Amino acid sequence: MPTQKRILLVEDEAVIALAEARVLKNAGYDVQILHTGEDSVEAVRSDPSIELVLMDIDLGTGLSGPEAASRMLEVRSLPIVFLTSHSEREMVDKVRNITRYGYVVKNSGNFVLLSSIEMAFELFMAHEEARRHFQKKEAMLQAIPDLMFTVDRDGTIRDYHAPQGVGLAVPADRVVGTHLRDIFSPEETARHLALYRTCLETGEVQVNAYELQVDGKRQIYELRIARQNENQVLAVIRNITERVEAESELRRIKAHYEYLFDHAPVPITLLDENDRVVRLNSSFSQTFGYSQEEAFGRPINDLVVPPELIEEGLELTRRVAEGESIYRISTRCRKDGNPVRVSIIAAPIELDGDFFIYAIYQPVG
């Protein structure tokens, strides 16, 4: 037995209390005796070292044992073992709705008393460990922004988890027991059930996406289905509406940029950090005579800079690579070797995390 665990013994009959305390002390426990329910509640409130309460059900006048126990459990969680001189069902029923860890009839023997206390400690520790695991699980679930549903093979929802603030297609009190056909169209229901069957039969995670009207708004969801057991799947659902709309907007902006780049009436080229051509527009090809295929991957200075201006070209590239935007009037060469006077505008830009140089070569008279 562990030694010096502190037990609060609540017994209104002093002689019985002393006898019970002697048994407990001989077993290695530290025992405090109180005689009223009111005093015992205050003791639990003020003394955190109390680890178990051995409580007489009938305490005479004042708070009864069950009433005192209920108030104790409002203060904190701890194991309570009830004592009684009676074994009638009506006495047991008095503590039925109270979290308890044992029920001992007085005079049933020291072995029964001590064994009941030992079992109460073990059971309490097991419950506390389970509670901690449950709290950890709940915290982890709350941190996950996804909806989770346990769904039968036939499409009936049996359990679910919804993070705070995440909308549901049906009221929360009606989710469990709802069938997929009450949420989706017949075609969409059939598609989901087919995914469930495939998951259950193969054990492979199924991934899909679908749309749904929630609170009058179109929402887009990513669906991942994993087999939970032979007849149920775990459906993990993430709202990807914002991501899909953002990607769509990004594609629109990119398409707009590419159109402007390709159709701009001035020669433009995009260079990498090593001054090599990544892309050029049709105006650049018309002005300097190089196609995209001819120019791609070649240093811009090798293409359009006259030999006598190579040092100038390298200096301009270095300055832009260091983050400076430049403007200069200078001479460049076409593919056929003919010179052309141009205004050069070059600036560093970042696209998708990569560094580029954006350069405009506008012919001037």
Burial of 29 (0-12, 13-18, 19+ CB in 10 A): buried
Residue 256 resides in a domain: no
Tokens, residue 341? 């006077």
Q: What's the CA gap between 282 and 17, in Å, rounded?
A: 101
Q: Which domain holds residue 104?
A: 6-141
Q: Are residues 151 and 95 in the same domain?
A: no
Question: DSSP label at 27?
Answer: T
Residue 70 resides in a domain: yes
Domain holding 210: CATH number?
3.30.450.20
**Residue 137: which pLDDT band, with cuts at 50, 70 and 90?**
confident
In 3D space, the residue among 221, 219, 193 whose CA is nearest the CA of residue 208 turns out to be 221
In 3D space, the residue among 149, 342, 113, 177 whose CA is nearest the CA of residue 237 turns out to be 149
The last residue of a domain, from among 117, 141, 165? 141
Q: Are residues 185 and 292 in the same domain?
A: no
Q: 224, 235 in Cβ contact below 8 A?
A: yes
User: What are 151's strand-pairing partners?
Assistant: 157, 233
Q: 27-40: per-residue pLDDT in tens?
A: 999 999 999 999 99
Q: What is the pTM of this model?
A: 0.51
Q: 227-271: per-residue pLDDT in tens?
A: 999 999 999 998 898 889 998 998 998 899 889 989 999 999 999
